[in-house]
């Protein structure tokens, strides 16, 4: 596997697919009237995952010359990547069936939705464990990375569904008040996990400290501080807190906040992947 920008895209869209599906399940359970937002989450999930699979196929040491090399990922059941491929395959089938049922206006069986929820949780976790299997990269082989990517997957998926829901039916979206406080809690948790990731990595010898330095003061610092922290966490958190205290929120502010979350979610994976790759190449 070639660890590069395409893998960062794959990790992001796969995680966002899981987050979108879980957001739709939450809306279905908590707000049965949130039909458009629920449908948006369930339909966008397999689309995002399909994009991720395309990125994975093109990056499997073959590119456009031999994308079928991707099938080799099924051959080693002891590999984290192979286990992840199984998870993706099962979740993709379930998510597609659920999306088709939504498009047809049919009820989704509760048992099928639960299988999809379990698959989405496993998929979100896998995106963190995939990098963590690299023993020689302290920033990746870190117990904090899987929960960080799970939380980021949830926030990214929720942001994408919220963007679509707010854009097409803001009145309906505003009635689902639980989404905003959930995002605030997840954003604070994500900040704490990022701090923990950096602290643990910096204590893992020279390689770990150098990876952290790349993120905080080196070539990746602008993307980390401005993109991940500023645009992806602080800005959306500030807007959410303001909207919770305001009697009426604006659709433009909501769109800005959710767009920031999506940008920050991708850049988080990009800087983490890039910092690890740079250390391997040094």
Which CATH code is given to the segment(s) 5-281?
1.20.1630.10
- Model confidence at 75: pLDDT above 70: no
Share of the chain above pLDDT 90, in %: 43
**Cα gap 46→59, rounded to integer Å:** 20
What are 170-188's pLDDT values in tens digits?
777 777 777 888 989 999 9
What are 137-180's pLDDT values in tens digits?
788 888 899 899 999 999 999 999 988 887 777 777 777 777 88
Considering only CA atoms, give the Rg of the chain.
19
What are 31-43's pLDDT values in tens digits?
887 788 889 999 9
Of residues 131 and 230, more confidence is placed in 230
Over range 43-59, report the average pLDDT: 83
**Cα gap 18→122, rounded to integer Å:** 9
| Residue 58: band (very low, low, confident or very high) from pLDDT cuts 50, 70, 90 | low
Over range 198-222, report the average pLDDT: 89
The reported pLDDT for the residue numbered 63 is: 47
What are 229-239's pLDDT values in tens digits?
999 999 999 98
Residue with tokens 């990375």: 145
**Cα gap 255→37, rounded to integer Å:** 15
Distance of CA 81 to the CA centre of its chain: 17
Helix axes 235-245, 251-281, angle to 10 degrees: 160
Of residues 266 and 178, more confidence is placed in 266
The reported pLDDT for the residue numbered 62 is: 47
At 97, give phi and psi (nearest 5°).
-60, -45
Helix axes 80-103, 110-132, angle to 10 degrees: 150
């Amino acid at each position: 596997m070639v660890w590069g920008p395409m893998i960062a895209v794959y990790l992001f869209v796969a995680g966002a697919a899981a987050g979108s599906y879980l957001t739709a399940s939450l809306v279905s359970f908590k707000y049965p009237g949130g039909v458009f937002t629920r449908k948006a989450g369930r339909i966008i999930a397999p689309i995002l995952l399909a994009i991720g699979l395309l990125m994975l196929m093109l990056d499997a040491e073959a590119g456009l010359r031999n994308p079928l090399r991707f099938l080799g990922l099924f051959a080693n059941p002891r590999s984290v990547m192979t286990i992840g491929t199984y998870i993706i395959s099962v979740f993709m089938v379930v998510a597609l069936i659920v999306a088709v049922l939504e498009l047809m206006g049919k009820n989704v069986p509760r048992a099928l939705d639960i299988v999809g929820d379990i698959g989405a949780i496993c998929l979100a976790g896998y995106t963190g464990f995939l990098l963590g299997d690299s023993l020689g990269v302290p920033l990746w082989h870190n117990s904090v990375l899987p929960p960080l990517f799970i939380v980021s997957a949830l926030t990214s998926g929720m942001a994408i569904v919220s963007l679509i829901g707010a854009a097409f039916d803001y009145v309906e979206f505003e009635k689902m008040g639980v989404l905003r406080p959930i995002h605030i809690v997840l954003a604070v948790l994500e900040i704490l996990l990022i701090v923990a990731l950096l602290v643990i990595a910096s204590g893992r010898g020279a390689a770990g400290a150098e990876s952290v330095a790349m993120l905080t003061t080196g070539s990746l610092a602008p993307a980390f501080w401005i993109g991940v922290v500023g645009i992806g966490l602080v800005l959306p958190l500030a807007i959410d807190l303001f909207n919770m205290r305001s009697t009426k929120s604006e659709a433009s502010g909501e769109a800005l906040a959710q767009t920031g979350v999506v940008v920050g979610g991708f850049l988080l994976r990009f800087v983490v992947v890039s910092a690890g790759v740079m250390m391997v190449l040094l």
